């Protein structure tokens, strides 16, 4: 046990202070413009790199954020939410370098309102096309916080044993390196470690030899040899090296262990789209923890309770913004914005993809006159973090009932205690176009006349109403 260093009372106090407990900033995503990547410098970063700080309302009015100096009120009191990120407490220009952090702070809040857990990325598909995993969309994914995938502290033994499960590696992911980068890395980081690698191989060989000699000892009924008693001669090592060189797989294993390289998928695996080994072997390990700190939920398999209608089979529906409508002739798919993240529009046989909806569907038509843009009700299903630290989400269309209930909760609809406009003609068949049509007819034709024209979309509030 190490003896605790004695510190002055003031020093001890400073160590426990909030300023000193601010975490150090993490490096930005490799694909961000702030990291030299091509793109907009003013765009929101893929993930926050600095701790977001806040202050009390009364202190914010005075500019007091607990920093060296009061911050200018002009820039810090405009926003509803007191959120800042401080890049430097004092610069040589005698100012505090800070910027508003409401972009990422509010995104976090919105994401946490969705109550969806972060799951392991789909192993067999490229990260950037969640569409590819649509077939397995209904299968529950494993949370990143499950015991068999969440490794944050590792010792040297675990490092090798958990090679196919962990997400953090000291070495790079070779498949993601440019040729120039690779050459530079080899020259600077790998070449100087040659003698160290020979020593490493020597130990491996010694362990191998120990195994064979101990087997021989067992067969002959002799005492077990010790590892120290094994002497590896230079000739033996050279012979071992020659043997390794003719076996690329084995030498890659050795080099990978020595440099702690992130695992690579074999060409066959990539070609056949089969998954084995590390879940990050095809797309590279993530730059952050696989949860990115966005959510600490382990599952979304719980029941929501509605104050009037009781337990619900599904979670409440959410409004998503239509960022880009579908353009059939250009083969461009629609994109949605949900809780600050961009995702693909739902696929499959769902409300927003029904043929009869297509004519005035906000997903297929851009309505520039609509205030606030078009929105549709969706049900987020899963989210995961890709290799660049970005969030990829999947959502499906909310059903008619889910949408009604969600709308009633925000006061846009009234179902409870409402008198139906006409008696029920017959028990409709589930989920068919006829059912929805009839329900719409009842809703929008109070007089009970036959349905005429298309359903209404894009009412004043910008919501997509059936």
Partner 1 sequence: MIIRNIGLRHGRQVIAASASPSCCVRALSTSAAKSATTTPRAPTNVPSFFTTPEQRARQEAIKAEIDKVPDNFKEFRSIQKKTVKMGGETHPRHLPDEMLKYPPHDATLEMLMAAQAHMGHNTSLWNPANQRYIYGVREGIHIIALETIAAHLRRAAKVVEEVAYHGGLILFVGTRKGQTPIVVRAAELAGGCHLFQQWTPGTITNRDQILAQGKLRMVDELDRDVPGFDDHIQDCRPVIPDLVVCLNPLENYPMLHECGLANVPTIGIIDTNADPTWVTYQIPANDDSLRAMALIGAVLGRAGQRGQERRYADAEEGIISWETPSEVRRFVQNTLAAKAQEKKDQARESLEPDGGREMIESDADIKKAIKELTEEEGL
Residue 217 vs residues 202, 221, 222, 223: alpha-carbon distances, Å: 22, 6, 5, 6
Q: In the complex, what is the shortest distance from the CB of residue 135 to partner 1, in angstroms, rounded to a whole number?
A: 19
Element (H, E) at 51: none
Residue corresponding to tokens 């961009």: 342
Which stretch, 54-62, 131-139, 263-271, 448-456, contacts partner 1 (CB under 8 A)? 54-62
* Closest by Cα among 77, 36, 75, 41 to 56: 77
**SS3 assignment, position 129:** coil
Among 30, 64, 132, 445, binds partner 1 (CB under 8 A): 64
How, if at all, do strands 375-385 and 341-344 pair? Answer: unpaired
Which of 228, 419, 452, 460 contacts partner 1 by CB under 8 A?
419
Which residue in the set 417, 450, 452, 460 belongs to the binding site for partner 1 (CB under 8 A)?
417
- Does position 69 interact with partner 1 (CB under 8 A)? The reply is yes
The rounded Cα 48 to chain-centroid distance in angstroms is 13
Q: Which of residues 88-117 bind partner 1 (CB under 8 A)?
A: 88-92, 94
Task: Kindly tell me which of 31 and 445 has the beta carbon lying closer to partner 1.
Answer: 445
How far is residue 464's CA from residue 102's CA, in Å, rounded to a whole number? 28
Tokens in use for 251?
């030498």
Distance CA 259, CA 197 (A): 9
| Closest CB 25 distance from partner 1, rounded Å | 10
Position 77 contacts partner 1 (CB under 8 A): no
Task: Tell me if 8 contacts partner 1 by CB under 8 A.
Answer: yes
Query: Bridge partners of 385?
Result: 391
Verify binding: residue 420, partner 1, rule CB under 8 A.
yes
Strands 84-88 and 52-53 come out as: antiparallel
H-only helix segments in 266-418 = 267-272, 400-409
Q: Which one, 149 or 445, has the nearer CB to partner 1?
A: 445
- Contact map string, positions 435 to 464, toward partner 1, x by CB under 8 A: x--xx--x----------------------
| Segment interacting with partner 1 (CB under 8 A) among 87-95, 140-148, 370-378, 454-462 | 87-95
Rg of the chain over Cα atoms, rounded to whole angstroms, equals: 30
Is residue 72 within the footprint of partner 1 (CB under 8 A)?
no
Please report whether residue 312 would count as binding partner 1 according to CB under 8 A.
yes
Residue from 39, 66, 140, 448 touching partner 1 (CB under 8 A): that is 66
By the rule CB under 8 A, 148 interacts with partner 1: no
The residue range among 65-73, 193-201, 349-357, 358-366 that interacts with partner 1, by the rule CB under 8 A, is 65-73
Query: Is there binding between residue 9 and partner 1 (CB under 8 A)?
Result: yes
Rounded to whole angstroms, how far apart are CA atoms 169 and 175? 14
- Give the count of beta carbons closer than 10 Å to the beta carbon of residue 304: 14
Size of the site for partner 1 (CB under 8 A): 56
Using CB under 8 A as the binding rule, whether residue 308 contacts partner 1 is answered as: yes
Residue closer to partner 1 by CB (options 39, 66) is 66
Structure tokens at 206: 């010694």
Based on CB atoms, which residue is closest to partner 1, 64 or 344?
A: 64
Whole-number Å distance between alpha carbons of 458 and 174? 49
Which of the stretches 280-288, 338-346, 361-369, 424-432 binds partner 1 when contact is defined by CB under 8 A?
Answer: 424-432
CA nearest 383: which of 182, 158, 153, 112? 112
Q: Does 416 bind partner 1 (CB under 8 A)?
A: yes
Minimum CB separation of residue 297 from partner 1 in Å reads 18
Near partner 1 in 22-41, by CB under 8 A: 22
Q: What DSSP assignment string belongs to 349-363?
A: SSGGG-GGGTTT-TT
Closest by CA position to 34, among listed 99, 130, 95: 99
Contact flag: residue 196 with partner 1 (CB under 8 A): no
Helix (H, G, I), strand (E, B) or coil at 98: strand
Q: Does 411 bind partner 1 (CB under 8 A)?
A: no
In the sheet where 335-338 sits, what is the strand order?
Answer: 341-344, 335-338, 318-324, 375-385, 391-397
What residues make contact with partner 1 under the rule CB under 8 A?
8-11, 13-14, 17, 19-20, 22, 56, 58-59, 62, 64, 66-70, 88-92, 94, 303, 306, 308-313, 399-401, 404-405, 415-420, 423-424, 427-431, 435, 438-439, 442
């Amino acid at each position: 046990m190490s003896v605790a260093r004695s510190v002055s009372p003031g020093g001890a106090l400073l160590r426990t202070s909030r300023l000193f407990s601010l975490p150090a900033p993490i490096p930005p995503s490799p694909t961000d413009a702030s990291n030299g990547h091509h793109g907009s410098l003013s765009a929101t970063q893929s993930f926050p790199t600095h701790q977001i700080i806040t202050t009390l309302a009364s202190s914010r009015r005075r500019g007091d954020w607990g920093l060296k100096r009061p911050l200018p009120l002009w820039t810090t009191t405009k926003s509803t939410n007191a959120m800042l990120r401080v890049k430097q407490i004092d610069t040589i220009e005698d100012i505090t370098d800070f910027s508003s952090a409401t972009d990422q702070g509010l995104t976090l809040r919105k994401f946490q309102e969705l109550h969806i857990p972060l799951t392991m990325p789909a192993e067999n598909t490229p990260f950037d096309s969640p569409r590819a995993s649509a077939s397995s969309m209904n299968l529950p994914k494993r949370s990143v916080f499950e015991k068999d995938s969440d490794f944050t502290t590792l010792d040297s033994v675990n490092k090798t044993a958990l090679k196919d499960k962990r997400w953090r590696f000291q070495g790079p992911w070779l498949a993601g390196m440019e040729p120039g980068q690779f050459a530079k890395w080899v020259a600077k980081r790998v070449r100087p470690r040659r003698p160290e690698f020979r020593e490493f191989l020597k130990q491996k060989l010694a362990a191998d030899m120990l195994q064979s000699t101990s087997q021989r000892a067992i067969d002959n009924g002799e005492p077990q040899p010790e590892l120290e008693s094994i002497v590896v001669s230079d000739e033996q090592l050279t012979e071992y090296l020659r043997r390794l060189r003719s076996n690329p797989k084995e030498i890659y294993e050795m080099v990978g262990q020595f440099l702690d390289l992130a695992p690579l998928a074999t060409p066959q695996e990539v070609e056949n789209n089969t998954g084995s080994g590390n879940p990050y072997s095809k797309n590279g390990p993530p730059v952050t923890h696989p949860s990115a700190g966005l959510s600490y939920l382990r599952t979304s398999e719980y029941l929501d309770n509605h104050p009037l209608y009781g337990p619900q089979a599904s979670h409440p529906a959410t409004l998503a913004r239509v960022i880009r409508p579908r353009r059939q002739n250009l083969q461009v798919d629609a994109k949605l914005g949900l809780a600050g993240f961009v995702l693909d529009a739902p696929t499959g046989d769902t409300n927003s993809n029904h043929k009869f909806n297509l004519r005035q569907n906000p997903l297929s038509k851009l309505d520039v006159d609509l205030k606030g843009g078009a929105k549709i009700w969706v049900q987020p299903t899963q989210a995961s973090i890709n290799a660049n630290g970005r969030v990829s989400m999947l959502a499906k269309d909310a059903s008619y009932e889910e949408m009604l209930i969600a709308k009633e909760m925000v006061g846009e609809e009234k179902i409870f205690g409402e008198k139906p406009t006409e008696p029920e003609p017959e028990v409709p068949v589930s989920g068919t176009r006829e059912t929805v049509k009839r329900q719409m007819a009842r809703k929008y034709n109070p007089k009970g006349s036959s349905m005429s024209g298309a359903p209404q979309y894009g009412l004043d509030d910008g919501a997509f109403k059936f």
